[in-house]
Each structure stands twice: as structure tokens, then as C-alpha cells.
């Protein structure tokens, strides 16, 4: 999947005109790529379109139109686009109550390293987490992490052949398994290997 370049982006004026329709398109697309892993964690599988939306929104919010500013946003977000043999995931830890959230983030240190996917007939693949910067310290973990799952060619071939996909988290304080990722999502994620 190719990375974004400045020429792939809309100008601020064009984005202002097209934002409602583009946003609706992206939200439909993202719905096919979000997986609840237990009651408090959501995985958002990123791709070129989701990243373009993030960049366009940042440019809009920050009123960035200078070439160097645009390039800076591209450099920050392009690493979230899959490379053809992997999935890139934004992990969100969600607790509604502030006190509960603080306690959970302290308890869930290291959760990002315990996330896995498994293609039926193959070993689990654990995430490579937060390659840009550490998001866990001695006191707590962050509510947002960036994960990369590297799949072997045989795993991708099995998925293309219809193999079941499971996902989960195996942390001492948060153990949940999605025994079968919904078929529509599995098909959407196959596009990341094109």
C-alpha cells in the first residue's frame, strides 16, 4: 500500500467543501475495520484512507497549508499505513469514569505487548508496539498505542483461502479473545496485503 504524498491531499478550501461527504465515506470504511477486544479495548486497523482522513483533519484543525507543515504531518502519519505484509493498528483503551481509567491504566502496563492475531492453522503473531516512542512508564500505560502485526506469506495465503482469523489480548489483568473476526472485516483487512 503506497504512502501518502502532498499531491494526494486536498487543499484546505477543497477539504472544507468535500469534508461532509469524505467524512461519511471514511466513517463507513472505519466501521468495517474496528474490532472490540473485550469491553474496554478497541483496535482500529489503519490503512491509506484512514490515514488520509487523519492528516486532512490535522491540517484543517491546525490550519496548516505551508509545504513543510504538510510534510511534517505526512511524516508523522505515513508509518500507520500497512506495508503489504502487515496490519497497522491503533489500540484504544476506553474507560468512561476518570478514576476507573487511572486505575486501569496503572494495572494494564504492558498490554500493548500482549496483543495478538492468529490465522487458523498458524501460530499467534504478537504485536510490535509503539515503534515511534514508548507509551508506558513505571506508573501507567497510555490509553493509545500503535501496533504492527507482521504476517508470514503462508498466513496471508491461508487468509485469502478463507481461513478463520482470531484476535486477542493475553495480559494478566485483561484476557479476551475474539474467536472469529467477522467475515466482512476479514475481507476488508485482506486489502491491506495488496
Cα–Cα nearest to 18, from 50, 60, 58: 60
Q: Hey, where are the domains in the chain?
A: 1-31+48-81, 33-46+82-194
This prediction's pTM: 0.91
Burial 171-181 (b: 16+ CB within 10 A, else e): beebeeebeeb
pLDDT at site 130: 82
pLDDT recorded at residue 131: 77
Q: What whole-number distance in Å separates Cα of residue 148 and Cα of residue 88?
A: 5
pLDDT at 134: 72
CATH of span 33-46+82-194: 2.60.40
Task: List average pLDDT for each run of 10 residues in the chain, which is 194 residues long.
Answer: 91 95 96 96 97 95 91 92 95 94 94 97 95 78 94 97 97 97 95 88
Q: In this structure, are residues 147 and 167 in contact, taking their beta carbons and an 8 Å threshold?
A: no
Per-residue HEC secondary structure of 108-157 comes to CCCHHHHEEEEECCCCCEECEECCCCCCECCCCECCEEEEEEECCHHHHH
- For 115-149, b/e burial (b = at least 16 CB within 10 A) is bbbbbeeeeebbbebbeeeebbeeebbbeebbbbb
pLDDT at position 54 is 93
Q: How many whole angstroms separate alpha carbon 121 and alpha carbon 99?
A: 42
- C-alpha cell at position 93: 483503551
Q: What pLDDT, on a 0 to 100 scale, did the predictor assign at position 146?
A: 94
Strand 34-36, strand 128-129: pairing: unpaired
Amino acid at each position: 500500500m503506497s504512502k501518502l504524498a502532498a499531491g494526494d491531499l486536498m487543499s484546505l478550501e477543497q477539504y472544507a467543501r468535500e469534508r461532509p461527504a469524505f467524512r461519511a465515506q471514511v466513517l463507513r470504511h472505519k466501521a468495517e475495520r474496528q474490532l472490540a477486544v473485550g469491553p474496554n479495548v478497541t483496535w482500529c486497523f489503519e490503512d491509506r484512507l484512514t490515514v488520509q482522513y487523519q492528516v486532512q483533519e490535522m491540517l484543517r484543525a491546525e490550519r496548516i497549508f505551508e509545504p513543510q507543515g504538510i510534510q511534517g504531518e505526512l511524516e508523522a502519519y505515513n508509518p500507520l499505513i500497512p506495508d503489504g505484509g502487515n496490519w497497522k493498528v491503533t489500540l484504544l483503551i476506553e474507560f468512561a469514569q476518570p478514576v476507573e481509567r487511572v486505575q486501569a491504566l496503572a494495572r494494564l502496563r504492558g498490554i500493548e505487548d500482549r496483543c495478538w492475531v492468529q490465522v487458523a492453522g498458524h501460530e499467534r503473531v504478537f504485536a510490535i508496539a509503539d515503534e515511534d516512542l514508548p507509551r508506558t512508564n513505571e506508573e501507567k500505560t497510555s490509553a493509545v498505542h500503535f501496533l504492527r502485526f507482521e504476517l508470514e506469506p503462508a498466513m496471508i495465503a491461508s487468509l485469502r483461502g478463507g481461513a478463520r482469523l482470531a484476535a486477542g489480548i493475553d495480559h494478566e489483568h485483561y484476557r479476551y479473545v475474539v474467536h472469529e473476526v467477522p467475515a466482512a472485516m476479514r475481507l476488508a483487512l485482506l486489502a491491506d496485503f495488496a
